Structure 1
Amino acid sequence: MQQTLVWKPWINPGVENLRLKQDDSGIHASSHLMQSVQGHSIAATYVLNCDPRWRFRHLWLKVDNLGQKSLTLDRDIRGRWYHNGELRHDLLDCQHVMLSASPFTHTPALQRCALETGQSDQVQVAYIDMLTLKVEARTQRYLCLRQHAEQTLYRCESAGNKPRELTVDRNALLMKASDQYLRMSSRTLELNRWV
């Protein structure tokens, strides 16, 4: 299955256009985004790969903000994290990656949590500030507030940030994040099958 998703920031100018592909080898996302972040204009491209069970495996990120910077982040099957090829012991407890300016990176965590109404889960994430490309371990908590057939409402809490409500579709893809992001479109691409 392949999907194309487009989000825009709630207040600031910008857009993210993401192509998502799921197959037997795993989940593959490639994205281009432009945003105004804390008064800085950034353009970024990233490729994020997870295994078929939404466990993070690889990220390549390039950001242009008064000059280009890039990084790679990898997690092996033993849970060891490598930042630009260097082992990062401080990320050992992390399960996912969270990009400061991308709504998509909530999806792998929510897919893995699989929460029912009233349940919550706390996850460690490798948080990447897209202005500085600083990578640090952070704790994030998700609480499932309400579930319907086509969408679910979560509260997301992380240290230093005000709680946000996330509305996601049945595939845990963000539809709306309170005062942060709004999904503009979602298309599923299907191959023609000739019989």
Structure 2
Amino acid sequence: MQQILVWKPWTTPGVENLRLSLDSEGIHGSSHLMQNLNGHSIAATYVLECDPRWRFRRLWLKADHHGPRTLSLHRDIRGHWYLNDEPRPDLDGCQHVMIPASPFTHTPVLQNAALETGESLGLRVAHIDLLTLEVTPRHQRYHCLQRRPGHHLYRCEAEGKPPVELTFDDHGLLTACAHYVQLSARTLMAAVPA
């Protein structure tokens, strides 16, 4: 299965366009995004790979902010993390990556968790700052507030950030939150002036 997913920030210029592929080998997301982060314009491309159970395996990221920079991050089957092929033992115990500028990075966490209403999950994530490409371990907690057909509501409490509500569809893909809204390709084309 392949899908094109598009998100737009609510309050700042920008867009993320992600191609998602799912097959028996696993999940492959390829994204291009442009945003204004804290007054800084940034363009980034990333490729995120998970196994068929949505467990993080690897990320390649290129960000252009005052010049292009790249990073490669992967997690082996024993749970050891490597940044640009160098061991990062401080990330051991992290389950997923989180790129705050990309709403998609919530999806693998919640796909893997399968929370029901009233349940919550706390975990460590490898948090990536797009402006600096710094990778740090952080704690996040997800609370499932409501599940009904077509509408799944969660609250995310990320270390150092105010809580935010996230709305997902039946496929576990983010449709809206305090910072982003999902657009269809048709909606996006209609929003572009001729």
Question: Common fold, TM-score beyond 0.5?
Answer: yes
In structure 2, stretches of 5+ residues that fail to align are 187-194
Asked if 2 retains the 8 angstrom alpha-carbon contact of 1:6 and 1:18, the reply is yes
| Counterpart position of 1:65 | 65
Would you say 1:177 and 2:165 are equivalent positions?
no
Query: How far apart, in 1, do the equivalents of 2:151 and 2:144 lie?
Result: 11
Distance in 1 of aligned mates of 2:145 and 2:36: 30
For residues 91-130 of structure 1, the aligned pairs below 5 Å read 91-130=91-130
Matches within 5 A, 1:1-195: 1-178=1-178, 180-185=179-184
Deviation digits for residues 13-68 of structure 1 (CA, Å, limit 9, x no counterpart): 00000000000000000000000000000000000000000000010000001100
Offset, 1:183 = 0.4
Superposition deviation, residue 186 in structure 1: 6.6
Mapped partners of 1:21, 1:158: distance in 2: 27
TM-score (norm 1): 0.94
Q: How much is the aligned-residue C-alpha RMSD, in angstroms?
A: 1.0
Name the CA distance, whole Å, in 1 between partners of 2:184 and 2:148.
20
Runs of 4+ in 1 over 3 A off after TM superposition: none
Post-superposition shift, 1:159?
1.6
Unaligned runs of 5+ in 1: 188-195
- 2:60 is paired with a residue of what secondary structure? strand
3-state SS of 2:11 partner:
coil
The alpha carbon displacement at 1:125 in A equals: 0.4
- Cα deviation for residue 100 of structure 1 reads 2.0
Cα deviations by residue, 1:128-182 (Å, 9 ceiling, x for unpaired):
000100000001000000111112000000121000000001121110012x000
The structure, 1 or 2, with the larger RCO (C-alpha pairs under 8 Å, 6+ apart) is 1
Query: Is the CA contact 1:3–1:186 (under 8 Å) kept in the aligned structure 2?
Result: no
Contact kept, 8 Å, 1:7 with 1:17, in 2: the verdict is yes
Of all paired residues, the percent bearing the same amino acid is 62
Whole-Å Cα distance in 2 between the matches of residues 159 and 77 of structure 1? 26
Whole-Å separation in 2 of the counterparts to 1:104 and 1:185 = 15
CA distance in 1, matches of 2:151, 2:45: 28
**Residue 191 of structure 2: aligned partner:** none
Structure 2 Cα separation of the partners of residues 34 and 176 of structure 1: 18
TM-score computed with the length of structure 2 as normaliser: 0.94
Q: CA deviation at 1:8?
A: 0.3
What secondary structure sits across from 1:112 in the alignment?
Answer: helix
